[in-house]
Chain A
Amino acid sequence: MRRTLDTGNAAITEGAILAGCSLFAGYPITPATEIAENMSRRLPQVGGYYVQAEDELTALHICIGGSLGGLKTMTATSGPGFILYADPLGWALGSEIPLVVVNAQRVGPVSGITGAPGQGEFYMSRYPTQGGNYETIVLAPNSVQEAFSITVEAFYLAERFRMPVIILADQLVTDGWESLSIPETPAELEAMRLKVIPRRVKEGPEFYPCTDAIDIPPVVLGHNTGAACSDWTPTPEGYDTEEVDFQHQHAYRLIYKVRNNKDLITRYESYFMDDNPELILVAYGSPSRVVVSAVKQAREKGWKVGALRLISLWPFPDEIFKVPAKYLSVELNYDGQLVREVQRAMPAGSEVHFFGKCGELPTVAELEELMQALLAGKGIKARNWEWEAW
């Protein structure tokens, strides 16, 4: 095990290299630039390729091309670049191309503040492109160590589900420095419950069958299999078609390969959830660190509170919201994004509240005050922001 002190950006780089990434294409953007910089330094050392693209559109298209040619590929950006991924990400989702996309979220609206954390692309990572009729896989680390392991996991899921996997980090996770342990032997890798699988190659010219099955090797060009990949509606042979029956088959595959294998994706942590807490805090990414601290302190005071920390965001883990309770979603935005899914997923008899911060984390003291008010049956006053609906 190699123990070091480093940033989330470095952790993502090392995770990708361990997972077998051999092509990174990116465009500089704060706070994800260091992933590109680290990749430009590390990839050549292991025989991989770094390409600096003329824009984010190109970056992800180059990754698509590399993956189509059989390489494991990754790109990384922040919100203003993530929107430019819309075009290639649609292609990659529709053509079922395994690759990994990192979004180190910074605070908006729009280009916002480059060096401050935000959580504004929660829904955008669910619907990053046109057309609907697909599911996305989105993972959200909350520490440097987890940024490493989630990157390895993302490559693993990308290969199994033959699709792009999005890592939705935030500026505090990517820029933050923490201790990082990197496994160096297969045994150490296994001890961390991480798996790496090589790229497989689909045999034969036919495209994918109408199935929810995963572990079908992805199409790789250059092996003269007669394979074809496009953004059109494909027939089972890979021809483009305007026939709606084939569109149904295509949509079924994209939606249900994820939905019907959701248990392989869903990851979360629960804190003090065994005794049906009255109040449950929900968070992902860096604010979840404060949430967990605040809930632990509240328990010491005897308050009946719990926390759910989401690690996989999409497909949304509806099934973990079992307890009727007061839910408080803590996010790095003012518009309330995660809270809408919590409201939809929570069981009857629950109520939902929202607390948002932007560009900085909430404090334990702030959360304590909110918990106290909610446990006492009072409404919570808007903080920093006029917010009434939640």
Chain B
Amino acid sequence: MDYLATKYLRPRKIPSTACSGCGLGQAHKKVVMAIDELGLATGDVIWGTGIGCAGRQTFNTWKGDNFAGTHGRAYAIATGLRIALPPDKKIIMTVGDGDAFGIGFLHLLNCARRNVDMTVIVLDNLGYQSTGGQYGWTTPRGYRTDSSPYGMYEPNWTQDGRDVLNILREAGATFLARYTSLQGQEAVEAIKKAILNKGFSLVHMPYPCVTNFAERALGTRKPVEIYKWFMEHTCSMHEKGPADFAFRTGIYYDASNSRPEFAELVKGWVADIQRRYS
């Protein structure tokens, strides 16, 4: 087993039960690498997850404390947890695209507005893959899924000039980045910055699903095909990328430690009231 896994993860859960060829392990490893490179110990991090491939495969892999929230609402749980925990504890969450950008988007936006100190890693497999492969809120237009047999026709969060990161920035998030799981150290560096931001950080990390997405959208389960497809559609934040759609990657917004963090704000507010009225 990998030295990082030995150091930080539970042997019972590693290797995970993800499909062979799945990109989730690459993404998971990047998060653990970032934690390691920051010199954090298992006791420094509380690891939260949602539901779906991303949530289920990463739940309770962390040797320290873990929780798996209800679908889409782990951010609301993390808000309460943030108030209760000492400020130096890190809350890191690995959640799916449906969890963050679908069912849980309201909660995500409000965490960004409040600037609650947490690092949300959105592990995006381009739809609902653990239920068999239905389209989601980042599925590129035109691609077939089990619930878009004639092609995905809905506008999504990452096309036609829209970017979900833009919405989160406007809402008040203080660190935002996007990297695919196929990218290297630059992605790890971004996750490190996300963790170091005392506020709401989100890293959007698309990763290849070889089993459901690749089979329907690309007509093959050969991992190399979807990996190639990912590479072809990856560009930097400043590039236009391929005509049909692109994973526009890089650090989208870094306003780390520029706004008051929510739990600190509420604690300071309470201390102030106690001073005023005691």
Indicate, yes or no, whether A interacts with B: yes
Tell me which residues across on chain B come within 8 A of A73, comparing CB atoms. Answer: 80
Q: Does A29 contact B (CB under 8 A)?
A: no
Select A228's contact among B65, B78, B270, beta carbons within 8 Å. B65
Given A69, A70, A221, A231, which contacts B70 in the complex, CB threshold below 8 Å?
A231
From DSSP, what is the main secondary structure of chain A's interface residues? mixed
Near A by CB (< 8 A), chain B positions 27-60 give: 42-43, 46, 49, 56, 59-60
Q: Establish whether residues B66 and A229, one from each chain, have CB atoms under 8 Å apart when the complex forms.
A: yes
Encoded as 1 (CB less than 8 Å from any B CB) or 0, chain A from 43 to 85 comes to: 1110111010111011001111111111101000000000000
Residues of B within 8 A of A238 (CB): 60, 66
Across-interface contacts of B65 in A (CB, < 8 A): 221-228
Task: Tell me, rounded to whole Å, the shortest Cβ–Cβ distance linking B108 to chain A.
Answer: 11
By secondary structure, the B interface counts as helix
B68 close to A224 (CB less than 8 A): no
CA distance A88 to B77 in the complex (A): 9
- How many chain-B residues does the 8 Å CB contact rule pick out? 40
A 9-21 binary contact with B (CB < 8 Å = 1; else 0): 0000000000000
CB-defined contacts of A231 to chain B, threshold 8 Å: 68-70
A222 with B79: in contact, given A54-B106, A58-B107 (CB under 8 Å)?
no
User: Would you call B83 and A71 a contact (CB within 8 A)?
Assistant: yes
Q: A87 at interface (Cβ–Cβ under 8 A)?
A: yes
B63 with A226: CB separation less than 8 A:
yes
| Chain A residue contacts of B64, Cβ below 8 A | 224, 226
Q: A61-B76, A88-B73, A240-B60 are in contact. Are A69 and B81 (CB under 8 A)?
A: yes
Contact B56 A67 (CB under 8 A): no
Bound state CA distance, A228 and B49, in angstroms? Answer: 11
Inter-chain CA distance A73–B277, complex, in Å, is 23
Q: Assuming A58-B110, A221-B67, A224-B42, is B81 touching A65 (CB within 8 A)?
A: yes
* A385 in contact (CB, < 8 A): no
The interface size bin for chain A is: 35 or more
Chain B residues near A63 (CB-CB < 8 A)? 80
Contact with B along A202-232 (1 / 0, CB 8 A): 0000000000000000000111111111111
Considering the complex, give the chain A residue whose CB is closest to the CB of B277. A45
The answer to whether residues A68 and B107 also contact, given A51-B266, A223-B65 and a CB cut-off of 8 A, is no
Of the A-B pairs whose beta carbons lie under 8 Å apart in the complex, a sample of 17, sorted by A's number, is A44-B273, A47-B270, A51-B83, A54-B107, A61-B69, A62-B76, A65-B76, A65-B83, A68-B80, A91-B69, A224-B42, A224-B43, A225-B65, A226-B64, A228-B67, A231-B68, A232-B68
Instruction: Report B's interface with A, CB cutoff 8 A.
Output: 12-13, 42-43, 46, 49, 56, 59-60, 63-70, 73, 76-86, 89, 106-107, 110, 266-267, 269-270, 273-274, 277
